[in-house]
């Protein structure tokens, strides 16, 4: 069905038999991402499938940390963890809530393509949702470290114009031992990196806040910080945001 990809859920154990593969929705160096259906509940979930055989020791530790973090996160504006298991073929399967309206980056691209006008109130509401999610992480001494519009997902009723934003993708998140602790690994997406990250200096929660500001700039102006202006998104009650 998909060249070079699994055409069925890996393994034949009882846990994976609860789900039906619907389609592939992405892939990366970590593995593949599928949309699956829980047969008994008739509910869709996202499943990240990671080949543990090809993972390094550091990679395995990072995957274990991601699962541990996901299990502890319970917030209405954080993509919800469902389940995880290692199947008989050695794939780690992580199941998460499915946000059916994609990510904000794709939403902004659609707005630009159709020349429609997102309401200022809606964008600010989504931004508030992510502030709440980030506050919850930081209260648990967790750095996200990859805050960007591709990691903010939309769910709800689009016809009734009721959509909520949820923060996801905690693959490179880090837990600090105290509120005064600092991280040192240079990691993340360049467009959203704080100055201390770019300069390989120790960093903490303020680095996530910098990324949050870059997200706000992007949703308001229609392009990333440092990108040339092509066609800005017309926003109702338009205002300027500069950095």
> What's the N-to-C CA distance of the chain in angstroms?
46
Catalytic residues: 146
Q: Where are the beta strands (DSSP E) in 56-213?
A: 81-86, 91-97, 142-143, 152-157, 162-167, 174-175
Six-digit token pair at 139?
């209260």
In Å, what is the CA distance from 22 to each residue of 7, 35, 68, 81, 109? Answer: 10, 6, 27, 19, 25
Q: Does 174 show up as a binding residue in the annotation?
A: no
Compute the residue count for the chain.
243
Which residue pairs from 205-211 have beta carbons closer than 8 angstroms and sit at least 24 positions apart in sequence? 205/138, 205/143, 205/179, 207/143, 207/145, 207/183, 208/134, 208/137, 208/138, 208/143, 208/144, 208/145, 208/147, 209/134, 211/144, 211/146, 211/147, 211/148
Q: Residues at the annotated binding site? A: 48
Q: Residues at the annotated binding site for ATP? A: 48
């Amino acid at each position: 069905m998909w060249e070079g990809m699994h055409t069925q859920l890996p393994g034949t154990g009882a846990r994976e038999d609860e789900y039906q593969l619907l389609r592939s929705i992405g892939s990366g160096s970590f593995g593949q991402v599928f949309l699956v259906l829980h047969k008994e509940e008739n509910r869709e979930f996202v499943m990240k499938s990671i080949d543990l055989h090809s993972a390094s020791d550091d990679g395995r530790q990072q995957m274990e940390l991601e699962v541990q973090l996901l299990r502890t996160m319970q917030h209405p504006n954080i993509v919800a963890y469902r389940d995880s298991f290692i199947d008989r073929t050695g794939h780690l399967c992580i199941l998460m809530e499915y946000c059916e309206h994609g990510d904000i980056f794709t939403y902004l691209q659609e707005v630009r393509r159709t020349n429609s006008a997102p309401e200022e109130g809606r964008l600010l509401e989504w931004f508030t949702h992510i502030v709440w999610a980030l506050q919850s992480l930081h209260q648990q001494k967790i750095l996200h470290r990859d805050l960007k519009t591709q990691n903010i997902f939309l769910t709800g009723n689009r016809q009734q114009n009721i959509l909520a934003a949820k923060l996801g993708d905690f693959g490179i998140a880090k837990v600090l031992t105290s509120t005064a602790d600092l991280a040192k690994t240079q990691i993340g997406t360049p467009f959203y990196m704080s100055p201390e990250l770019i300069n390989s200096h120790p960093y903490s929660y303020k680095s996530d806040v910098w990324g949050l500001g870059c997200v706000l700039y992007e949703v308001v102006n229609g392009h990333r910080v440092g990108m040339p202006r092509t066609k800005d998104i017309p926003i109702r009650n338009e205002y300027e945001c500069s950095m």
